[in-house]
Amino acid sequence: MKVLVIGGGGREHAIVWKLAQSRHVDKIYCTPGNAGIAEIAECIEVGPDVEALIDFVKYNWIDITIVGPEEPLSRGIVDAFEKEGRKILGPTKAAAQLEWSKAFSKDFMRRHRIPTADYKVFTSYIHAQEYVRMMGAPRVIKADGLAAGKGVVVASTVDEAMQAIDLIMKDRAFGAAGDRVIVEDCLVGEEASFMVFTDGKTIAPMASAQDHKRIFDNDRGPNTGGMGAYSPAPVITPEMQEIIMATVMRPTIDGLQADGIKYKGILYAGLMIADNKPYVLEYNCRLGDPETQPVLFRLETDLVDIALAVADERLGDIDIAWKPEHAICVVIASKGYPGAYEKGAVISGIRDANKHEKVVVFHAGTAFGEDDACVTSGGRVLGVTASGADIVAARDAAYRAIQDISFDGMQFRKDIAMKAIRTA
């Protein structure tokens, strides 16, 4: 069997790594891939034109395609593949609106009574700022469209909220994603990531995870795409999982169906657990990054079996098993991230880090430089991922391995999973 993976980050490296363990897979292609993915898959330059991808799939007899990032989903890649009768894991463009339009998702949640923070949508920065002045702070300011995980500002003061609105709507920091802005009430509680596989009928929960969005320790600094994650998340107890499935996941899939939209693929709910109730902060329509890394570390069932079951709408026929171990991913980023950063720094020590037991270094923003040296090419560069009998063992393994890695300007948080340890 041949599989194509679309994307080139840490999430995609983890997907490729898991696919390589499948008894079904003979060949893995990845576009565009990265330096780490190139060690286990054939990296190709195809696209971003969807027709070029479809031609590649046809001429190379690809059995199934797995979409990693959100951008191809927002352009309707699944619609185009399904029209050609090609199997692909991901939701249609209409279903993916849950991610690529926050205004759509908030209106959808309100209409279907899915718990979320109260909000207002604005197309004028003047009106948005007037509303903030009237309502006060704290407020959460969100760009409507895709912004690589950086279009959300939790403003603790009115001035911060004003600056965020200016950044999104006046300065156009995220381009057309800032045509509309959502101003939300600020929920207080504990965040968690809850992902499921679904074929539109059956909903199969994944192992829970918790992400660390802020760039600095103790959740300080601006939001990023994610600086680390661990699984399981203690806040998602078996009882809480049942509540999430009943009040968030099932109503989401059923609500879309009622609106004439069938959702197949992976659905991610970023949650705030407040007063023992889950509230949806955001939806993603694909695997989270870096949550994918520790979650796939714990997946026992063949990922290809799951992907095919989703595509063929027979997810109810398989049981998905998870390892009891804990897992953690610590992201190493370039200096300056999530702002401007330099590329091309030579990375050393990855092979030594990979020699540690139960450790895999997933590449996120890497490329080949002179003399085939591995160099930085992105803001988030590596995701050092480890497992252990408990979260302390997993964390210790990951941070030991990080000591072997170096490049100019590397930065990483020192407190990933400490919240889980303190509450254990």
Model pLDDT for residues 197-236, shown as the tens digit of each residue: 999 999 999 999 999 999 999 999 988 999 999 999 999 9
Residue 374 pLDDT > 90: yes
Residue 278 pLDDT > 70: yes
Dihedral (CA of 374, 375, 377, 381) sign: positive
Confidence of residue 424 (pLDDT cuts 50, 70, 90): low
Residue 156 phi/psi, 5-degree rounding, is -85, -15
Lowest mean pLDDT among 44-53, 400-409, 413-422: 44-53
Lowest mean pLDDT among 218-222, 349-353, 377-381: 218-222
Share of the chain above pLDDT 90, in %: 92
Other beta carbons less than 10 A from residue 188's beta carbon: 8
Cβ distance 166 to 141 under 8 Å?
Answer: no
Output the pLDDT for position 203: 98
Confidence of residue 291 (pLDDT cuts 50, 70, 90): very high
Residue 376 pLDDT > 70: yes
Output the pLDDT for position 150: 73
Confidence of residue 402 (pLDDT cuts 50, 70, 90): very high
Output the pLDDT for position 242: 98
Can you list the pairs that 121-128 forms with residues at least 24 positions away whose Cβ atoms lie under 8 Å? 121/180, 121/181, 121/182, 122/180, 122/181, 122/182, 122/183, 123/179, 123/180, 124/169, 125/165, 125/166, 125/168, 125/169, 125/170, 125/181, 128/165, 128/169, 128/181, 128/183
Model pLDDT for residues 6-41, shown as the tens digit of each residue: 999 999 999 999 999 999 999 999 999 999 999 999
Confidence of residue 147 (pLDDT cuts 50, 70, 90): confident
Residue 48 pLDDT > 80: no
Distances (CA, A) of 402 to 39, 338, 409, 412, 414: 20, 20, 14, 9, 11
CA–CA gap between residue 115 and residue 106 (Å, rounded)? 10
Other beta carbons less than 10 A from residue 83's beta carbon: 10
DSSP 262-308: ---EEEEEEEEEETTEEEEEEEESS--TTTHHHHHHHB-S-HHHHHH
Output the pLDDT for position 49: 86
Average pLDDT over residues 194-198: 98
Other beta carbons less than 10 A from residue 295's beta carbon: 26
Output the pLDDT for position 368: 93
CA–CA gap between residue 402 and residue 404 (Å, rounded)? 5
Residue 148 pLDDT > 80: no
Distances (CA, A) of 346 to 97, 378, 393, 408: 39, 13, 30, 8
Residue 401 pLDDT > 80: yes
Going from the N-terminus, what domains does the chain have, and what CATH number goes with each?
A: 2-92 (3.40.50.20), 124-179 (3.30.1490.20), 189-317 (3.30.470.20), 326-423 (3.90.600.10)
How many C-alpha atoms does 396 have within 13 Å on its Cβ side?
8
Output the pLDDT for position 79: 97
SS3 (DSSP) at 77 = helix
Average pLDDT over residues 304-320: 97
Residue 97 pLDDT > 90: yes
Looking at residue 296, its amino acid is L
Output the pLDDT for position 371: 87
Return the structure tokens found at 299. Answer: 């997946």
Cβ distance 329 to 362 under 8 Å?
Answer: yes
**Mean pLDDT, the chain, integer:** 95
